[in-house]
Structure 1
């Protein structure tokens, strides 16, 4: 291998490491980075635990649904897994558009019984 090629590889490697460090610093300054430092890596609803391998499945949920409200003490944040976070936003959208009343069930009572005529059908045979 030539000296020039080795030097280019080292320069490229140094560039990659520098960029990775800069990206890490930016992430740590974000509210997600702050929340991950502040709270244990556990879903606040289902208590699923996370580690470095699956940390990308843990999200920061804004309790008041305002993504611009990021107090430094983290009082508006909670860590939720993807599934619980999606469920939380679904409930919020249902309440926002009036299909879910606070304190009431989200699904209307079922009135159709698919087996209502089963006895009469069996008796005819």
Structure 2
């Protein structure tokens, strides 16, 4: 039931966005028509899928590829954002690639 309600909501704002905007990807500017229109998706600019103003101000049409890229960039931005300590958050590397190089070179002598 919940999935049906979500699908219905998505179809509603997608139909509205397709009526409001030209069938062109907002990033790569490719045009879509006919069967390929299904490759054009609605992207929420603020990444909040519940924010669907009737004027479409939170929507933009993106092709599947640009939409995936936009969400990947957003995820990376959230993951690697600077925390309150002023240093980037995310994985910390403990690898020092050339740490033992001097020792290895001396052992060959």
1:43 to 22, 25, 28: 25
Q: Which has the larger radius of gyration?
A: 1
The alpha carbon displacement at 1:52 in A equals: 1.6
**Alignment correspondent of 1:90:** 72
Matched, 1:61 2:46: no
User: 1:56-96 CA distances to partner (integer Å, 9 max, x unpaired)?
Assistant: 10000000000000000000000000000000000000011
User: How many correspondences in the alignment?
Assistant: 76
Work out the CA distance in 1 between the residues paired with 2:34 and 2:53. 25
Segments of 5+ residues of structure 1 without an aligned counterpart are: 1-25, 101-111, 113-125
2:63, 2:39 → 1: CA distance? Answer: 6
Kindly report which structure 2 residues correspond to 1:1-125, keeping only aligned pairs within 5 A, or say none: 30-98=12-80
Supply the distance in 2 between the matched residues of 1:99 and 1:69 (Cα, whole angstroms): 23
RMSD value, Cα: 2.4
Q: Which one scores higher on RCO, CA 8 angstroms, separation ≥ 6?
A: 2
- How high is the TM-score relative to the length of structure 2? 0.64
Q: Gaps spanning 5+ residues in structure 2: where?
A: 1-7, 83-96, 98-109
